[in-house]
Every structure is written in C-alpha cells, then in structure tokens.
C-alpha cells in the first residue's frame, strides 16, 4: 500500500474528516487532500505531525501493512516522560492496573516510612 493510502486509511479508521486532520497538522484542506490522493508527497514534518496526532510512529505510518514483528519495549531505558506516554497508550483496563500497582507501592512506602520514623523514636 502506498504512503498516501496509509495516511488516508489512518484518518478513515478514526472516523476523522480531512479538514480536521489538515487543521491539526497545519495544512490547508486542499493541500492535505492532494497528499491523501497521491498528488503531492508528504514531508517528514507532516509525517511527524501525523504520527504525534495518531499516537504512533512515523515507521508505523510508512509500513502500515508490514508484517514486521514489533520490538519488545523496555521501559527502564526510557525517560520519565516517555514512560508516561507509553502508559497513556495502553487501553483503559491496563492503565487502571498500572495505576493501581503504583498506588499500592506508594501506600506501602508511606507505611514503611511512618513505621521507621516511629520505631526510631522509641
């Protein structure tokens, strides 16, 4: 599938109008329409803006139908903001589990700190 078809398919799968995407990525509707129709090439800047808008990578836009197996993500080597972004990409059930774990760990830490502080006073 061509890049223009991939861009169009992404928009249609989300049920978004061309004018909405064009506005978000900073293009006129005519210019954006020509990109989707293959009459104009998409710039790297446009691909970057589309990737951010759809919450995917440029590679995923370019190679949408590729059978490439996704690489395992190791969260420890990511910055805090990248870790938060990755968690935000999860479905609601998985996010709820992650936040529940974090809350449990934070509560446990508070109890440990409280216990250690009060035992030291004895």
pLDDT reading at 67 higher than 70:
no
DSSP line for 31-52: HHHHHHTTSSPPPHHHHHHHHH
Q: Identify the pLDDT of residue 76.
A: 76
What is this structure's pTM? 0.54
CB 3 within 8 A of CB 42: yes
Nearest C-alpha neighbor of 9 from the set 76, 1, 69, 100: 1
Region 89-108: mean pLDDT is 93
The 10s digit of each residue's pLDDT in 2-44 is 899 999 999 999 899 999 999 999 999 999 999 999 999 999 9
pLDDT above 90 coverage of the chain, percent = 58
């Amino acid at each position: 599938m061509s890049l223009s078809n991939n861009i169009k398919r992404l928009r249609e799968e989300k049920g978004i109008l061309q004018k909405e995407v064009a506005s978000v990525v900073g293009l006129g509707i005519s210019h954006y329409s020509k990109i989707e129709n293959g009459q104009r090439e998409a710039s790297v800047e446009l691909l970057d803006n589309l990737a951010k808008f759809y919450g995917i990578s440029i590679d995923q836009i370019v190679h949408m139908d590729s059978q490439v197996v996704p690489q395992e993500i190791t969260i420890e080597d990511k910055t805090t903001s990248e870790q938060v972004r990755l968690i935000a990409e999860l479905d609601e059930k998985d996010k709820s589990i992650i936040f529940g774990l974090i809350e449990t760990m934070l509560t446990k830490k508070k109890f440990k700190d409280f216990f250690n502080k009060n035992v030291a006073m004895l």
